[in-house]
Structure 1
Amino acid sequence: MRAFVLTGPGEFEVRDVPVPVAVPGEVVVDVERVGVCGTDVEFFTGEMAYLHEGHSSYPLRPGHEWAGRVSALGDGVDPAWLGRRVMGDTMIGDGSCRRCRRGHRHVCERRQEVGIRDGRPGALAERLAVPASSLHALPDAVDPVLGALVEPGGNALRAARAAAAGPGDRALVLGPGTIGLLVAMFLRAAGAEVHLMGVTPDSLAFARSLGFAHTWTEHDLPDLPFDAVVDASNARHLPALALDVVEPAGRLVYIGLAGAPSSVDTRTLALKDVTAVGVLSASPGLAATIDAYATGAVDPRPLVAATVGLDQVGAVLAGRRPAGAGPGPKVHVDPRPA
């Protein structure tokens, strides 16, 4: 089968690789859609921290935002999975450590990460093998486009829930990229007044096209009481700004990752009586995200600017927009043969 493989920083090829076999406890999925993520870009540039920490190495097959249909079952897997449309959890814990036993498999020290850590190839291929325990069934209302948006949506839903903003609350989201816009959508669905702060006019205009009227840059951000602030950016100075602008007794949520360490003055955190929460992984939010998409409470389809084939993935990772792409921040891949 064909697969997209990163062979080094800035180096890649679409190559023929062996078709995966469903070993005991696992399934093989025919992949229908894959989202290109900022993590994939960091692997392309060589900046991803896991490469330097020994968790990941080249050659590497990325792709952890995916949807598809189960086509083969390993021994011990419930036959009901065969033929079902699914997406899967990126984080796969060992199932036996203290964290896994306490329901925190996404922070298992020995976890596998689909398309990210060594030993678990990603979904930028025609087929993908994953544990059956990682699967989430997709209802008919959640098509492949929505299915491949469940993983980023789960991260965003967790951030929005951590912000705990609802009717009567004002929330500020820093960074109108895919995650920031998804967070804004979930906050809006919860009834909060949502503001977004970004950098480029195009990204802010796109946010307004989604119905978010309150969009700002750092230079014109109004002096308003923000009951919750979510940092979904990659700017190292914004975690401190988030603390500066959040209301006393408010909530901070950090889901964005900068390329260098950020500083937050914990004296201010304490004196303002602020609750700060970090979010890693969509795992605990996947089921609720599927429900939100299925009911229409959140519709992230406009975020997808284009869908390309495997042969175009390298150009996308290098920062080139596909011809005819819309204004959204997300590019999807359909790895199936044309």
Structure 2
Amino acid sequence: MSSIMRAFVLTGPREFAVREVPAPAAAPGEVVVDVERAGVCGTDVEFFTGEMPYLHDGHAAYPMRLGHEWAGTVSAVGDGVDPAWLGRRVMGDTMLGDRTCRRCRKGHQHTCEQREEVGIRGGRAGALAEKLAVPAWSLHALPDAVDAVLGALVEPGGNALRAARAAGTGPGDRALVLGPGTIGLLTAMFLRAAGAEVHLMGVAGLDFPRSLGFDGVWTRETLPDLPFDAVVDATGAAGAPALAVDLVEPAGRIVYIGLSGDPSRVDTRALVFKDVTAVGVLSASPGLAETIEAYASGAVDPRPLVGATVGLDGVGAVLAGERIGGAGPKVHIDPGR
């Protein structure tokens, strides 16, 4: 096994290189995964531009190795790890709690104050590389029906599944998703799979959601005056949280999964007078297993969201906003290219 691998290294805002770096070894309790696919996400872009808050509050620092949406095959196991993991196709949780604090013991390890986040927080190297080391306990095995493309969509899908579940809609209900990006579209897919009538609202790229079979795709100006039992904010717009309150039906539910670079303001009096339930979704962690099941069964098929697949040498252009490939909003990285 080679002791050197290629990895995408971010050295500063808009400063990067694909370098040969030491390949990870399997520490006790950990595995090494040969990465087959990794997704690029908005969080990665914020690190690229230098806008990510973790860079300013001490949770992350350059140089860093990005990549938290991934799938691959276990190629080595450390001491204390079941050797049955060897050769297994897997994806893994991004959020790695300390497993000892009160939050972790209550099953909320994704909110652990001391958590590491793969490719994001605490110096834990990410998956934009040929190999990745992660704790064995964070792994989820992938069935044969979930290939590397779907596997690398499990992490964003877990966020979306949780958002859709928090919306609490089903047959006879109407839901509106603000923001038809990757998370918004995945949320819409899970809402539709649960039987809800789903509408989406955005500012651009609205033909693509229609190609996925969503007929109710609108701009703010064209949005019809309909009662929405749930509104999901999957945008990065500072004004969207308040807009969601305006658009939701009394006694409805609002789900916040998008994050703005600027503070958002919501008048809680409006929540009270409309008797609205508002829910925030931070992480995919509690939804990963169910997302894998949904992909394996075909209940949700996110493949069309992947508009392009490039090698490590193409990561910088993707993070810089260069449009690559087809209409789908998600770009995947194949480190073997």
Please state which band the TM-score falls in when normalised by the shorter chain. Answer: over 0.9
Say which of 31, 52, 68 aligns to 1:48: 52
Matches of 1:270 and 1:137 in 2, distance apart? 43
Is 1:177 matched with 2:198? no
Q: Which residue of 2 aligns with 1:252?
A: 254
Alpha-carbon shift at residue 219 of structure 1 (Å): 1.2
Q: Secondary structure at the match of 2:213?
A: coil
Distance 1:118 1:261 in 2: 24
Q: Corresponding residue for 1:206? A: 208
Measure how far apart 1:65 and its partner are. 0.1
Q: CA deviation at 1:221?
A: 1.1
The letter of the residue matching 2:328 is G
Amino acid in the other structure paired with 1:301 = R
Counterpart selection for 1:18 from 1, 13, 22: 22
Runs of 4+ in 1 over 2 A off after TM superposition: none
Q: Is the 8 A contact 2:158 2:288 kept in 1?
A: yes
Normalising to structure 2: TM-score of the pair?
Answer: 0.98
AA aligned to 1:274 is V
Q: Percent identity at matched positions? A: 80
Match in the other structure for 1:236: 238
3-state SS in 2 of match to 1:6: strand
CA positional deviation for 1:119:
2.3
Of residues 136, 140, 145, the one that matches 1:141 is 145
TM-score, structure 1 length as denominator? 0.98
Aligned-partner Cα distance in 1 for 2:226–2:138 = 42
Check conservation: 2:115, 2:122, Cα contact below 8 A.
Answer: no
The one-character-per-residue Cα deviations of 1:308-337 (angstroms, maximum 9, x if unpaired) are 000010000000022xx110000000001x
Q: SS of the counterpart of 1:17? A: strand
Is contact 1:197–1:217 with CA below 8 Å preserved after alignment? yes
Given that 1:156 and 1:179 are in contact with CA atoms closer than 8 Å, whether structure 2 keeps it comes out as yes
Matches of 1:169 and 1:105, distance apart in 2: 32
Contact 1:31/1:125 (<8 A) preserved: yes
Amino acid of the residue matched to residue 6 of structure 1?
L
Matched, 1:63 2:75: no
Residues 70 and 152 in structure 2, CA contact (< 8 A), matched pair in contact too: yes
- Deviations 1:92-139 (CA, angstroms, capped at 9, x unpaired): 000000000000000000000000013210000000000000000000
How far apart are 1:198 and its partner, in Å? 0.3
- Say if 2:229 and 2:248, in contact at 8 Å, map to a contact too: yes
Opposite residue 233 of structure 1, the aligned amino acid is: T
- Give secondary structure in 1 for the equivalent of 2:207: helix
What is the rounded CA distance, in whole Å, between the counterparts of 1:82 and 1:43 in structure 2? 33
Offset from partner CA, 1:210-258 (integer Å, 9 cap, x none): 0000011011111110000000000100100100010000000000001
Is this contact kept in 2: 1:60–1:118, CA < 8 A? no
Q: Could you tell me which residue of structure 1 aligns to residue 296 of structure 2?
A: 294
Distance in 1 between residues matched to 2:23 and 2:185, nearest whole Å: 36
Is 1:93 the counterpart of 2:97 in the alignment?
Answer: yes
Paired residue type of 1:94: D
Aligned AA for 1:291? E
Alpha-carbon distance in 1 for matches of 2:58, 2:116: 13
Q: Is the 8 A contact 1:303 1:328 kept in 2?
A: yes
Unpaired segments of 5 or more residues in structure 1?
A: none
For residues 262 and 223 of structure 1, what CA distance do their matches in structure 2 show?
24
Verify the 8 A CA contact 1:231 1:256 in the aligned structure 2.
yes
Q: Is residue 326 of structure 1 aligned with residue 299 of structure 2?
A: no
**Residue 283 (structure 1) aligned with residue 285 (structure 2):** yes
Contact 1:2 / 1:125 at 8 angstroms: preserved in 2? yes
CA distance in structure 1 between the aligned counterparts of 2:9 and 2:77, rounded to whole angstroms: 25
Tell me the amino acid that sits aligned with residue 33 of structure 2. Answer: V
1:309 pairs with one of 294, 311, 334: 311
1:229–1:251 contact (8 Å) kept in structure 2: yes
Aligned counterparts of 1:168 and 1:119: Cα–Cα separation in 2? 46
Tell me the distance in 1 between the aligned counterparts of 2:92 and 2:171. 32
Question: Which of 78, 86, 94 is 2:82 aligned to?
Answer: 78
Counterpart CA distance in 2 for 1:195 and 1:154 is 20
Indicate whether 1:119 and 2:123 are aligned.
yes
Distance (whole Å) between structure 2 residues aligned to residue 306 and residue 224 of structure 1: 36
State the distance in 1 between where 2:29 and 2:110 align.
19
Per-residue deviation, 1:146: 0.1
CA distance in 1, matches of 2:320, 2:14: 8
Indicate the residue corresponding to 1:227 in structure 2: 229
3-state DSSP of counterpart to 1:182:
helix
What one-letter code is carried by the residue in structure 1 that aligns with 2:8?
F
Q: State the match for 2:107 in structure 1.
A: 103
Give me the whole-angstrom Cα distance separating, in 2, the residues matched to 1:115 and 1:245: 36
Q: Distance in 2 between matches of 1:304 and 1:132?
A: 28
